[in-house]
Amino acid sequence: MPSKHIVVIGASAGGLETLRDLVARLPADFAAPVVIVVHLSPDSPEVLPDILSRSGPLPAVHVRNGDRLSAGRIYVAPADRHVVVEPGRLRLTRGPRENRFRPAVDPLFRSAAQVYGPLAIGVVLTGNLDDGTAGLWAIKQLGGVAIAQQPDDALFRSMPESAIRHVRVDYIVAAREVPELLVRLTSERVTVPAGPLAKPPSLDVEVRIAAEDNPVDAGVLALGEPSAFTCPECHGVLLQMHEGGRVRFRCHTGHGFSARSLVAEVNEQTDVALWSTIRAMQEGALLLETLGQHIQQHHGGGSSPAFAARAEELKRQAETLRQIAVSETADAGEVVREGWPD
């Protein structure tokens, strides 16, 4: 096992502003590598390392596959790639998306826990939903240090709030206090157990999945019982996993979801399907009106009234669905954002 600490940080919405302030307070002689995942869309402009390098004394770079970890250096996950920690180095992968994202925070945190054990320090910052909670739990299970931003200090409180609710975090601090805390923690001497650490049963399997191993060969089918739900990504059956009082899901192709992220994805797909149905009905009404006009003009009327009646019926149905789609009662995402019962 490596003899020095690693700091892994996860953020989502509001992460840019928070990270700029955080790295500005880290000293030039910081004693550990810092690896950061911020949720990005695949086509995001890759400017975060430049911004962070200008914000503080530590150089920041995008992770390149096989990068060796060096103290006093910031490594940022690029768009559309997970970052997996290996002994002394980093690996980039296109493993299955987790919690609707690639890069996701949980794969980074789990792999850091697997390799560094008590020398891993995980930090969950501002963001929506709950990516990072399962990974921070793994860090804590293997003796590492768990830090969460004070939710009242976060631009978006959901991610740190979830971490605090489900993980026995060691420190809950404002973002401006994190750098000083990291300096102190990385300077402390940590006793690493001589024997093998008691890993959560799912840890190795999920790290292998993120590292692009075949999920079935990695053992995904042993992670939980088949549920009644299908994967929004690939439509395979989701396995239901129980971990630390929480429920999570994985399909046999490897896509992973927390309960919150699964609800968010289903809600988004329901919204897409609803508007697609509205569009189809409106197009059907327009088609019937056009055909009715054609019959009226070229065939002396005929069945044009029936076309017009059916077109009006489709318009009424489409408007009913449109009113549902735009109403607050259709926003199941409100449950995810505000009313989650955990």
- Positions annotated as catalytic residues are 12, 39, 131
For residue 206, which of 159, 169, 172, 241 has the smallest C-alpha distance? Answer: 241
Beta carbons within 8 Å of 109's beta carbon, 6+ residues apart: 8, 10, 120, 122, 132, 134, 135, 136, 138, 139
Distance in angstroms (rounded) separating the CA atoms of residues 290 and 265: 37
For residue 157, which of 110, 135, 124, 182 has the smallest C-alpha distance? Answer: 124
Distance in angstroms (rounded) separating the CA atoms of residues 315 and 180: 62
Residue with the two structure tokens 């560094």 = 116
The size of the chain, in residues, is 342
For strands 225-230 and 237-243, give the pairing: antiparallel
Cβ neighbours, 10 Å, residue 88: 13
Q: Are 67 and 29 in contact (CB under 8 A)?
A: no
Q: Are 274 and 282 in contact (CB under 8 A)?
A: no
333 alpha carbon, distance to own chain's centre = 16
Q: Are 6 and 120 in contact (CB under 8 A)?
A: yes
Beta carbons within 8 Å of 304's beta carbon, 6+ residues apart: 292, 293, 295, 296
Distance in angstroms (rounded) separating the CA atoms of residues 112 and 145: 11
